[in-house]
Amino acid sequence: MTSTAAREPATEIDRPGIAYLVAAANALVPADKGLLAIDESIPTCNKRFAALGIAETEDNRRSYRELIVTTPGLADSISGVILCDETIRENTSGGHAFATVLANRDIVPGIKVDRGTHPLAGHPGEKVTEGLDGLRERLVRYAESGARFAKWRAVFTIGPATPSRACIEANAHALARYAALCQETGLVPVVEPEVLMTGDHTAARCGEVTETVLREVFSQLHMNGVVVEAMLLKINMVLPGLDCPIQESVEDVAEATISCLRRTVPAATAGIVFLSGGQSGDLATARLDAINSAELPILPWPVGFSYGRAIQQPALSIWDGQDANAAAAQRALRQRAENNQDARRGKYTSSTVLTPT
Ligand code: 13P
């Protein structure tokens, strides 16, 4: 066998277009910025509105997202915004497409491309993410609409017998096929396997499950020829379940998360970004800060954020569906984004007492 025949496609970073994708992936995780996720599906966005008594209308969803993308100074702390299918098709009140408005503000537009989580047959309580059918064509259309990166989320629930091997393998395989299709199309894939916080499991169990999931995800990514230099991993921190009586300190969470990621994520991966997953905004930021201020070991990848609720929540409450509150909501959004920018630098100081959720 020649040495050429022995080469694995996944290690080739000289494929046509791949240098562009590597640069595009690096541009999403510059030194102290992060991603903002506003890609909640219509039902999820409506649920957040309903909790605050905001009318669940398309117009309100559009107005709220317009408020976010037009926040003055957002680009100082946010490198990219993840939109949902509804929003990327819409225009702001000024008649410009959301992706264009973002690009004009030096924020990279991204798009959530999965079609949600569905019950995994034969595995009660477990979910598989769907959306591979027709994905190649949809990715081309999203790229034409201005998207430069994409996101696909899989979820894993910790229980006495879950996640099962079937759930881990099915979701890892789908994530890898999605990521390969993104790179073929010229979009940077954000690969998001999320181990959920629901339950009374310990942080140690979350660490074991997250490690197992990541091993399978990177094995599938490799098998499917995904170039890790041209993708981001979006992942949960290693956290105790919401109902676990023992809630670790910020420093212990940081240490467990770093250990888990160092064991499983190739050093060549362009970057790691965290989801907030139901943590309070303050805790998500403080934990990110602790991860970035840990003195040793030096982390091989940029470690940032791709928060939804942990950045949006105060702004949504303040806005409350009223145009008159938009400017105050934008100030709150910018504040939360800048808090996380501080955390990327390891310089965040919480103004409140941190109580684990
Ligand atoms: P949260 O930060 O609210 O968990 O949302 C991030 C996200 O994009 C989940 O897919």
At 204-229, the pLDDT tens digits run 999 999 999 999 999 999 999 999 99
Q: Mind listing the pLDDT tens digit for each residue in 100-133?
A: 999 999 999 999 999 999 999 999 999 999 999 9
Locate all alpha helices (DSSP H) within 7-41, ordered by sequence.
Answer: 18-28
Helix (H) or strand (E) run with residue 305 in it: strand 303-307
Q: Mind listing the pLDDT tens digit for each residue in 152-171?
A: 999 999 999 999 999 999 99
Confidence of residue 352 (pLDDT cuts 50, 70, 90): low
Confidence of residue 7 (pLDDT cuts 50, 70, 90): very low
Question: Ligand 1 centre and the CA of 9: distance in Å?
Answer: 31
Beta strands in the chain (DSSP E): 34-37, 78-83, 108-112, 117-119, 127-129, 149-156, 188-195, 232-235, 271-274, 303-307
Task: Give the integer Cα–Cα distance in Å for 232 and 82.
Answer: 13
Q: Mind listing the pLDDT tens digit for each residue in 242-278?
A: 999 999 999 999 999 999 999 999 999 999 999 999 9
Task: Give the integer Cα–Cα distance in Å for 247 and 278.
Answer: 15
Placement of tokens 């973002």 in the chain? 102
Q: Which two tokens stand for residue 157?
A: 């629930």
Task: Give the integer Cα–Cα distance in Å for 352 and 322.
Answer: 27
Q: Which two tokens stand for residue 94?
A: 């000024």
Q: Is 8 a catalytic residue?
A: no
Q: Which residues line ligand 1 (CB under 6 A)?
A: 37, 153, 192, 275-277, 306-310
Position 290 scores a pLDDT of: 97
Q: Which pTM does this prediction carry? A: 0.94
Q: Which atom of ligand 1 is nearest to the CA of 37?
A: 8
Q: Which atom of ligand 1 is nearest to the CA of 278?
A: 4
Atom 5 of ligand 1, nearest CA residue: 308
Q: Is 194 a catalytic residue?
A: no
Q: Which two tokens stand for residue 69?
A: 């993308």
At residue 34, the 3 state secondary structure works out as strand
Domains of the chain (ranges plus CATH)?
Answer: 21-344 (3.20.20.70)
Position 173 scores a pLDDT of: 98
Question: Ligand 1 centre and the CA of 45: distance in Å?
Answer: 12
Say which of 33, 112, 151, 234 is annotated catalytic: 234
Does residue 239 contact residue 268 with C-beta atoms inside 8 Å? Answer: no
3-state secondary structure 167-206: HHHHHHHHHHHHHHHHHHHCCEEEEEEEECCCCCCCHHHH
